[in-house]
Structure 1
């Protein structure tokens, strides 16, 4: 575990533009039409400059560009943006993991080439499903043909570290539909799969529909059946479930996301981005124009607060237990000077007695049952 106050070695950058707003999405994103994209990139440059002056980076190990949909940037905008990233975070190493989220409906050869030239070496495609009717139901702009074309174009350009996101628990989705999606997904033989359950969030179209009893969600039993199916199929196909929603071939786990799950520091840049550095967490201003305006005078923080020792210990357990390898007492002691038992003994005892946690060597980790009730486990440490 890295020291709590070391310089971040991970960078998250937010591109808040999308072609449209998916019905389930509560991320900080805005429909692209009419947006001041180049002004936003100029604002990002100002924030990058202020950030590296206030806290110079260590050797950067991971960069992750998320959204929104970063691939709505035009090829020349993409090239300009990636040049900025190289300028302000220049300590590149051969093993650098440089990920970018992509929508299969917004990636062509020219754009992918600009990404490749700019240093991106890992792409995470937001596929969600291989059922076209379901894609339309959730407001996605792409279809399965776009997925295959995007993956083929990326492979042509030499991208070999690719991941796709899938979702389960979607409206009108059945275990049979999930089975077919897994058939098509696994036939691609990719290095990594992220598979998340739908959460109906406030300020989304789905939330409005849910409150009007117009959202035909699967039952809890059907959703559980899908999750068990996902775990079984991915394991049979040779993928390690290394986090409760993520599966990878050996050596292809998301190193950037491990930064979050290990509660390590990271830079967070862009409208609405979160960051964690120097013992402080911050959230940036969310609106595009307010963000741009603020970068002209100061850091564009909406709020910034010190993480207390108590909060840091809770965060360590909650995010660390998402990893199937669990947490090590040695790492906890290195950060906080006491053992997990000293701080959380009664909670650990209760969760182990319920069969949700287990001690495996020097680690505390979720049991198979604990994986299914992960949110209950994490909440126990608050």
Structure 2
């Protein structure tokens, strides 16, 4: 596949997009770093090039190369912007026998997949991080979470172990209003030490517009409970916020950020996503033409019902111009509040000791050489240069795990599917010649940037020259910079914050065009 044809894939990586790559290694959103070489980039030299950035140390551990993602697909209902692999289950399923049976079946499928990894891997796999994403994992019964955690780590034949156990990051996504103190105490006892809280907004009207079930009162109560169970010093939680949603004004966005930094205890990490209107979603049907370029043309949308003929007025969709302002404002405001903007959508709080509380798990996706296992519906793994996507439909995933269990019961020497050339969706896995594309896309998401000396060492100088040629656009427009230019080292290139990140699609596309000429 040519780099020019991969340009479309870049669009899911940068603004404007609600991209849950930081949470869900799905077949649609994941961008991999397939090379198995460790990254040569030292985070200690990663102060942002901007004078108002906080100088910070990084909390990542470069000695461990594996992460693990577990997908729990349950949601109360599908949000109006969502096209992910989920299973809507309704509001209260405590006594719903149908849900209990489905959950038992899904749990067994996940455990079977874990067992298969163990039976096809000669040595236990060291993990830097575990991430339970969704969906809404906090809707899963505690028994399900316990059984999955036990299967991952506890038996003698369990496939994984925590390297530097006291320093391992174990995250679970939770939605406000879906858990209580008992639930939090239970997940703490299981070993979860980080919570990703799906806040999205503090405005009840905006939450309703997005189709979210919770309201702002649920957000504040959830954080109170996190503090009560984990203690103020150990309340390690991240929040997600979404910009560019229908009805959101510039003033509303500034208030959202103001409310976020005033939370107590403060979130140690904030992820900001700009809404992507996806085809097939509720918003896709309403705002199918996408955003207007400037705010003067953004207006409410009136849609007539095909059945009753009655018209419904939907809030305006913020323009591309307004979304760009929201992004720039967020970057400057959060950096002024001691949050390090270390990746396009990610901000880490820098504490008094100079430690930036980055997501250890998410950094694996953006590293050169990062590898991760993934388990569950619709998840995508990246192991030994092979990216493997599991089926997205629940029935297909359950059938797939049953077939695998039967097949490997007959032939224990068979190669596991996540190392084969086709994946659970019948698509071709990606590896090899596309490595450099993934490296460029993931590294230019980060404030560290792309190390050209590594490219020169693992590819050749013609690739470096092509990358520099494509990056000239960023240099000419003051959207990027080249660092460490000397006779001994080629140095690195990185996009500037915020405008370089904002136009990353264009810059990366330009680089791919130049790389095509090398491959031809």
Q: TM-score, normalised by structure 2?
A: 0.69
Other-structure match for 2:508: 378
**Deviations for 1:286-305, whole angstroms, at most 9, x for unmatched residues?**
11122112212215822464
Task: Please state how far the C-alpha of 1:307 moved relative to its aligned partner.
Answer: 3.4
Other-structure match for 1:239: 339
CA RMSD of aligned residues (A): 2.3
SS in 1 for 2:161: coil
In structure 1, C-alpha distance between the alignment counterparts of 2:318 and 2:115, rounded to whole Å: 47
Other-structure match for 2:401: 295
Please identify, of 174-183 and 350-359, the stretch whose mean Cα deviation from structure 2 is larger: 350-359
In structure 1, C-alpha distance between the alignment counterparts of 2:511 and 2:115, rounded to whole Å: 37
Q: Does structure 1 residue 312 correspond to structure 2 residue 417? A: no
1:280-359 correspondence to structure 2 within 5 Å: 280-298=386-404, 301-303=424-426, 305-333=428-456, 335-336=458-459, 341-359=464-482
Task: Please state how far the C-alpha of 1:77 moved relative to its aligned partner.
Answer: 2.6
Equivalent residues of 1:8, 1:277 under 8 A apart: no
SS in 1 for 2:167: coil
Other-structure match for 1:261: 366
Task: Please state how far the C-alpha of 1:133 moved relative to its aligned partner.
Answer: 0.7
Other-structure match for 2:496: 367
Other-structure match for 2:112: 46
Other-structure match for 2:247: 172
Task: Please state how far the C-alpha of 1:331 moved relative to its aligned partner.
Answer: 3.4
Equivalent residues of 1:5, 1:279 under 8 A apart: no
Task: Please state how far the C-alpha of 1:221 moved relative to its aligned partner.
Answer: 2.1
How many correspondences in the alignment? 382
2:139 to 47, 60, 72: 72
Equivalent residues of 1:17, 1:67 under 8 A apart: yes
- In 2 relative to 1, CA 353–164 (structure 1 residues): closer, same or farther, beyond 3 Å? same
Task: Please state how far the C-alpha of 1:2 moved relative to its aligned partner.
Answer: 9.3
Q: TM-score, normalised by structure 1?
A: 0.93
2:71 to 5, 14, 19: 14
**Deviations for 1:104-158, whole angstroms, at most 9, x for unmatched residues?**
1212111112211111111110100000110001000101111111111111111
2:215 to 143, 146, 149: 143
Equivalent residues of 2:470, 2:507 under 8 A apart: no
- In 2 relative to 1, CA 146–334 (structure 1 residues): closer, same or farther, beyond 3 Å? farther
Equivalent residues of 2:473, 2:507 under 8 A apart: no
**Deviations for 1:309-351, whole angstroms, at most 9, x for unmatched residues?**
3310011001111001112124334544657514524212343
In structure 2, C-alpha distance between the alignment counterparts of 1:29 and 1:357, rounded to whole Å: 38
Q: Does structure 1 residue 91 correspond to structure 2 residue 220? A: no
In structure 2, C-alpha distance between the alignment counterparts of 1:233 and 1:165, rounded to whole Å: 16
In structure 2, C-alpha distance between the alignment counterparts of 1:32 and 1:57, rounded to whole Å: 35
**Deviations for 1:344-368, whole angstroms, at most 9, x for unmatched residues?**
2421234323333211223210023
Please identify, of 272-281 and 293-302, the stretch whose mean Cα deviation from structure 2 is larger: 293-302
Other-structure match for 2:81: 24
Other-structure match for 1:202: 279
**Deviations for 1:261-309, whole angstroms, at most 9, x for unmatched residues?**
1251111111100111111111101111221122122158224645343
In structure 1, C-alpha distance between the alignment counterparts of 2:117 and 2:331, rounded to whole Å: 40
Larger radius of gyration: 2
Equivalent residues of 1:99, 1:124 under 8 A apart: yes
The higher relative CO (CA closer than 8 Å, separation ≥ 6) is in: 2
SS in 2 for 1:301: coil
Equivalent residues of 1:314, 1:381 under 8 A apart: no
In structure 2, C-alpha distance between the alignment counterparts of 1:40 and 1:331, rounded to whole Å: 42
Q: Segments of 4+ in structure 1 off by > 6 A? A: none
Contiguous gaps of at least 5 residues in structure 2: 1-32, 39-63, 91-97, 290-300, 303-313, 351-355, 405-416, 418-422, 485-490, 513-520
Contiguous gaps of at least 5 residues in structure 1: none
SS in 2 for 1:104: coil
Other-structure match for 1:228: 328
- In 2 relative to 1, CA 84–221 (structure 1 residues): closer, same or farther, beyond 3 Å? same
In structure 1, C-alpha distance between the alignment counterparts of 2:149 and 2:109, rounded to whole Å: 14
Task: Please state how far the C-alpha of 1:61 moved relative to its aligned partner.
Answer: 0.2
In structure 1, C-alpha distance between the alignment counterparts of 2:176 and 2:348, rounded to whole Å: 21
SS in 2 for 1:106: coil
In structure 1, C-alpha distance between the alignment counterparts of 2:162 and 2:332, rounded to whole Å: 40
In structure 1, C-alpha distance between the alignment counterparts of 2:463 and 2:358, rounded to whole Å: 26
SS in 2 for 1:211: coil
